[in-house]
Structure 1
Amino acid sequence: MSTALRIAHGAFGRVALLDMDWSLVRHAHPHCHVLLKVEGADTQFVVGDKVYPLTNETAVLVNGWQPHSYVHDPDRPRTVILALYVEPEWLMAFRPGWAASGAPGFFVHPSGGVSPRIRGLTMNLAADMMARPEARTAHESLLSDLMIAVIERFTPWRSFPASIREMNARSGDWRIRRVAASMRAETRRGAGLDTFAREAGLSRAHFFRLFESSIGVPPKVYLNVVRMEQAVDAVLNQSASVRNISNQLGFAEPAHFTRFFRNHAGVSPREFRNVSRLAS
């Protein structure tokens, strides 16, 4: 079973130090997502429909809303992974064009060679999170240096201001944007995909095709992303029990909620909360 060693969260998003031996379902994030190996066995992630290695020399780079999964090989030892989920608004403080980090195409390729600087910053951040889980300001400073190094190495960042001006024109069908907003407002699991297709005024098949072409993921994956982000926010910021959070989000049983959370985050909501509180 995977273990959360440390979790830091703030305006920057989330940073999780995970000791992984548990597969993750196909999912996505609304963040710029960077996966860096710290120690243990080399491993791999599926991004889109291709497999990419995660080693001391290679990082895995996932664009916002890009489907990906982790399939653990039970014959391999565990891998300690530094997983970054970085908010576009936080990156804008460094360069306005870095708001593009939440859009498709931010990372040109899902894999890239790790420079000595990126490797060193990765190890420094992981070590400091372990030694001083409460040192949030220091962790954010290290994360800043690490993300600047990652962006400068793996993205065409000099072209981002032009792409930002074009983002609204490329943002997809207005009916899908409206339905996506409804999905984000839907805090329980009551509304089915047929309901959203009717809201868009489209047949189910046309709705599925248009949604994926506009957003980048199927509507079911999008709904799961929204529910997972709501779950993470509740687990981190509410004092309610896991059972009550499960009820808030419309799961029939707390065990269903725990399984959903573990399949997306690698660990249970209770462990996620307990480890995150070490940084309080």
Structure 2
Amino acid sequence: MSEPLRIIHGAFGRVALLLLDRTMAVHAHRVCHVVFKIGGVDILFGVRELEHYLSDDNVLLVNAWEPHFYNHNRDAPSTVLLALYLEPQWLRKVDTRFSCSAHPKFFSQPILALGSKLAGLRADLLDLLTGRESTGSRVVEDLIVRTIIELACVGTRWKELLECQLMGSLAYDARIRQSLDEMKSRGGVALDFDEIASSVGLSRPHFFHLFRKQIGMTPATFGSMLRMEASIDSLAATDTAIHDIARHLGFDSPGNFTRFFLCQQGVTPSQYRRKVEFTTLTCS
């Protein structure tokens, strides 16, 4: 069974240390996602349709809204990962260039070799997460800022992003924009895709085809992303009972909610809640 070792939430998003020994289904995040391997065996981690080796010598970079997955070999030992999930609004305040951090091509490649500076930052992040004392927000944020700046310096093609003039927003078909707004407005609650397709004047097959072509994932994967974000927010920021969270998000039973969460995050909702903590404010 996979196990969260430590999870810290803050204005920056979240950072997690995870012992992983189970498959994670195809899922996505609306934030950019950085994954370091900390210990255990090297693994193959999928981004879109391709799998990439994640080892001690590289880092995995997943763009916002980019589908990714992990197929665990049942007989393989576990792996320890350090993962960052970085909020676009916070990154925008860090550096105006990061206003495009939600762009699907913010990172130009999924795997980046670790130079000495990135390896040192990884070690500092690990020290932060394995320390037992409460962690001040400024300490966490300063270290994440240094890490993302270094990653962007070598993993982002600024000229290409500026030339395409997208800067985090895409010229979607108006019907797809409308469907995105409708799905987001429901706050992760179970979605009826026939109803959504009809509301934007598309047949279900045409809606699925156009959505995947423009967004890069199926409506179901996007809906699961919204549902997962809502569940993480509820688990981390409230003391609402897990069965009440499950019911609010439209699951038939707490067991189905647990299976959904486990399939996408590799840990159960109760494990996640036990390990999550928030950065403490530090004095100026």
On whether the aligned pair clears a TM of 0.5, the verdict is yes
Distance (whole Å) between structure 1 residues aligned to residue 18 and residue 41 of structure 2:
13
Distance (whole Å) between structure 1 residues aligned to residue 153 and residue 120 of structure 2:
16
Cα separation, partners in 2 of 1:167 and 1:29, compared to 1, 3 Å: closer
| Residue type of the alignment partner of 2:19 | D
Maintained 8 Å contact 2:45/2:71: yes
Distance (whole Å) between structure 2 residues aligned to residue 113 and residue 143 of structure 1:
18
Q: In the TM superposition, what is the alpha-carbon distance from 1:195 to its structure 2 partner?
A: 0.7
Q: In the TM superposition, what is the alpha-carbon distance from 1:161 to its structure 2 partner?
A: 4.4
Cα separation, partners in 2 of 1:220 and 1:133, compared to 1, 3 Å: farther
Maintained 8 Å contact 2:188/2:223: no
Cα separation, partners in 2 of 1:112 and 1:120, compared to 1, 3 Å: same
Cα separation, partners in 2 of 1:167 and 1:134, compared to 1, 3 Å: closer
Quote the residue 1:195 is aligned against. 195
Distance (whole Å) between structure 2 residues aligned to residue 158 and residue 95 of structure 1:
16
Q: In the TM superposition, what is the alpha-carbon distance from 1:133 to its structure 2 partner?
A: 5.1
| Residue type of the alignment partner of 1:155 | T
Quote the residue 1:147 is aligned against. 148
Q: In the TM superposition, what is the alpha-carbon distance from 1:182 to its structure 2 partner?
A: 0.9
Quote the residue 2:60 is aligned against. 60
Q: How does 1:182-221 map to 2 (within 5 A)?
A: 182-187=182-187, 189-221=189-221
Secondary structure of the residue aligned to 2:15 is strand
Secondary structure of the residue aligned to 1:98 is helix
Q: How does 1:258-269 map to 2 (within 5 A)?
A: 258-269=258-269
Secondary structure of the residue aligned to 2:225 is helix
4+ residue segments displaced more than 2 Å:
157-168, 187-191, 277-280
Normalising by structure 1, report the TM-score: 0.94
Maintained 8 Å contact 2:190/2:227: no
| Residue type of the alignment partner of 2:41 | A
Higher mean alpha-carbon deviation, 135-144 vs 186-195, is at: 186-195
Q: How does 1:3-42 map to 2 (within 5 A)?
A: 3-42=3-42
Cα separation, partners in 2 of 1:225 and 1:102, compared to 1, 3 Å: same
Secondary structure of the residue aligned to 2:277 is helix
Q: How does 1:82-161 map to 2 (within 5 A)?
A: 82-132=82-132, 134-137=134-137, 138-157=139-158, 160-161=161-162
Maintained 8 Å contact 2:13/2:85: yes
Distance (whole Å) between structure 2 residues aligned to residue 133 and residue 51 of structure 1:
37
Cα separation, partners in 2 of 1:57 and 1:40, compared to 1, 3 Å: same
Cα separation, partners in 2 of 1:188 and 1:276, compared to 1, 3 Å: closer
Maintained 8 Å contact 1:3/1:20: yes
Maintained 8 Å contact 2:211/2:217: yes
Structure 1: unaligned runs, 5 residues or longer: none
Distance (whole Å) between structure 2 residues aligned to residue 267 and residue 143 of structure 1:
24
Secondary structure of the residue aligned to 1:93 is helix
Cα separation, partners in 2 of 1:21 and 1:112, compared to 1, 3 Å: same
Q: How does 1:162-241 map to 2 (within 5 A)?
A: 162-165=163-166, 168=169, 170-187=170-187, 189-241=189-241
For residues 179-221 of structure 1, give each alpha carbon's deviation from its aligned partner in whole angstroms, at most 9, with x where no partner exists.
1111111246454111111011001111011111222211000
| Residue type of the alignment partner of 2:147 | L
| Residue type of the alignment partner of 1:152 | C
Distance (whole Å) between structure 2 residues aligned to residue 279 and residue 241 of structure 1:
23
Secondary structure of the residue aligned to 2:101 is helix
Secondary structure of the residue aligned to 1:92 is helix
| Residue type of the alignment partner of 2:227 | R
1:49 maps to 2:88: no
Q: In the TM superposition, what is the alpha-carbon distance from 1:162 to its structure 2 partner?
A: 4.6
Cα separation, partners in 2 of 1:219 and 1:262, compared to 1, 3 Å: same
For residues 226-278 of structure 1, give each alpha carbon's deviation from its aligned partner in whole angstroms, at most 9, with x where no partner exists.
00000011111111111111111111100111111111111111111110138
Aligned residues: 279
Q: In the TM superposition, what is the alpha-carbon distance from 1:178 to its structure 2 partner?
A: 1.0
Distance (whole Å) between structure 1 residues aligned to residue 221 and residue 35 of structure 2:
20
Secondary structure of the residue aligned to 1:201 is coil
Quote the residue 1:275 is aligned against. 275
| Residue type of the alignment partner of 1:151 | A
How large is the RMSD of aligned CA atoms in angstroms? 1.7
Q: In the TM superposition, what is the alpha-carbon distance from 1:167 to its structure 2 partner?
A: 5.2
Q: In the TM superposition, what is the alpha-carbon distance from 1:3 to its structure 2 partner?
A: 0.6
